[in-house]
Structure 1
Amino acid sequence: MNYHFDFSFLAGSASALLGGLKVTIELAVAANIMGLVLGFFLCLLVMSRWTIVRWPAQLFVEFFRCTPALLQIVWFFYCIPMMVDIFIDPIVMGVLALGLNLTAFNAEAYRAGVQAVPKEHLDASVALGLRPWQRTVYVVLPQALRSAMPVLMTNGIGSLQQSALVAIVAVADLMYVGKSLATEAYRPLETYSVIALIYFALSLPVAKLVNVVARRQDTAVQR
């Protein structure tokens, strides 16, 4: 292999990369907040005893879990503006597409956590006279969140990585900026290697934290 690596051209592009990194982090953080909040409410709808509530929620979950994330992003960016006939900021569309996708996956994580809540705890909350919303907020949510935390954090890492897909619809995230630099400098090997290392550096601490949380949960269960 006679290829000579040259990363010097990236020194003058640091501000562009930082700008793209800022957009990527904004997308990932906003999508995770959306997924964490809406995911729990969607979980409650999926577990509802009312068929008219449960079926649409299940259809929502299955749609986002069984279609490619790239297709979802393209559909949101090109189809929704055509349907409502208004311009929507690309960042908002990116958050919406990524957040709804994450909502569907988090709903399943929450559902497993809710099903793990001991029936005795629910019976005790009823005996104490707690209202349904109080049982949900003070009894079910804390325990479901604790049980589902490793999966929710793993889904969050996946959302960060999936945010790179918005580059295909020209959102100036880290991947889009990297692709532009690689094209301009004819240095794809160096550029994409640096981009990969940045994503790796963002994801690794969270992945390590997931392992710590999972080990603590295993230890707590064994006691």
Structure 2
Amino acid sequence: MSYTFDFSFLENSAPRLLEGLGVTLQLAVAANVMGLVLGFLLCLAVMSPWALLRWPAQLFIEFFRCTPALLQIVWFFYCIPMVFDVFIDPIPLGVLALGLNLTAFNAEAYRAGVQAVPREHLDASTALGLKPWQRTLHVVLPQALRNATPVLMTNGIGTLQQSALVAIVAIADLMYVAKTLATEAYRPLETYSVVALIYFAVSLPIARIAHLVERRQDAAMTR
């Protein structure tokens, strides 16, 4: 192997990488907040007894789960301004694309969590005279959120990683900055290796927390 690694050119690039990481975290956090909230609402729509509400929600889920995230991002960035004559700043548009994709996956995680809620709890809340929205808010949501937490956290990590796809539409996230640095210095191996370590360092603690939560839930169920 004749290639010699040289990371010295990255010493002066730390501020640019940190700025790109800040954009990446901004996209990931905002998309996760959006996915957590809309995912539960979409879950309720999918489980609705009304077909006019259930079928569009199911179609939404299948569309975002069965098409590539990269295609969805490109569609949002190029088709929305052209078709609807609506122009949105790049970062909010990136959050929208990533958040709607995550919403579809989180809805399925919530649905599994809702289906795991014991029927006795629902019957008890009905017997206590709770209204449907009270039953959903105080009985279903807390238990569904607890049951779905490991999957939701895993989906959140996936969104952090998928946020790198916005580099293709020139949002200055971590991957876009890395691509720029690699082009400027002609050192793609060093640049992408460092960026991979950054993604790993950010994702690993979340993955470990998700694993611990899952183990605690498994232990609680065996008691």
> What's 2:159 paired with?
159
Structure 1 residue 82: Cα displacement: 1.0
What residue in structure 1 maps to residue 220 of structure 2? Answer: 220
Q: What SS class does the counterpart of residue 190 from structure 1 fall into?
A: helix
Amino acid at match of 1:99: G
Aligned to 2:29: 29
Q: Does 1:182 align with 2:175?
A: no
Is 1:208 aligned to residue 222 of structure 2?
A: no
Please give the per-residue CA displacement for 1:140-192, whole angstroms capped at 9, x wherever unaligned: 00000000000000000000000000000000000000000000000000000
**AA at the equivalent of 1:178:** A
- 1:14 corresponds in structure 2 to 14
Alignment of 1:68-87 (within 5 A): 68-87=68-87
Q: 2: distance between equivalents of 1:178 and 1:39?
A: 32
Shift of 1:3: 1.2
Partners of 2:114 and 2:3 lie apart in 1 by 55
Tell me the distance in 2 between the aligned counterparts of 1:117 and 1:202.
32
Equivalent residues in 2 for 1:46-65 (5 A)? 46-65=46-65
Where does residue 143 of structure 2 map in the other structure? 143
| SS of equivalent residue, structure 1 residue 48 | coil
How big is each residue's C-alpha offset from its partner over 1:28-53, in whole Å with a ceiling of 9 and x where there is no partner? 00000000000000000000000011
The Cα shift of 1:84 comes to 2.4
SS at match of 1:14: helix
Query: What does the per-residue CA deviation read over 1:32-88, in whole Å, with 9 as the maximum and x for residues that have no partner?
Result: 000000000000000000001100000000000000000000000000011222321
Tell me the distance in 1 between the aligned counterparts of 2:52 and 2:37.
22
SS in structure 2 of the partner of residue 2 of structure 1 = coil
Q: 2:94 aligns to what?
A: 94
Aligned residues: 223
Deviations 1:114-157 (A, max 9, x none): 00000000000000000000000000000000000000000000
Give the letter aligned to residue 172 of structure 1. A
**Amino acid in the other structure paired with 2:156:** G
CA–CA distance in 1 between the matches of 2:83 and 2:34? 23
What are the ranges of 5 or more consecutive residues in structure 2 without an aligned counterpart? none
Which amino acid is the alignment partner of residue 221 of structure 1? M
In 1, distance between residues paired with 2:108 and 2:185? Answer: 44
2:126 equivalent in structure 1: 126
Unaligned runs of 5+ in 1: none
CA distance in structure 1 between the aligned counterparts of 2:102 and 2:120, rounded to whole angstroms: 31
Shift of 1:99: 0.1
What amino acid does structure 2 have at the position aligned with 1:102?
A: L
Q: Percent identity?
A: 79
Residue 197 of structure 1: how far off its partner (Å):
0.2
Shift of 1:23: 0.3
Q: Distance in 1 between matches of 2:214 and 2:87?
A: 43
Over the aligned positions, Cα root-mean-square deviation in angstroms equals 0.5
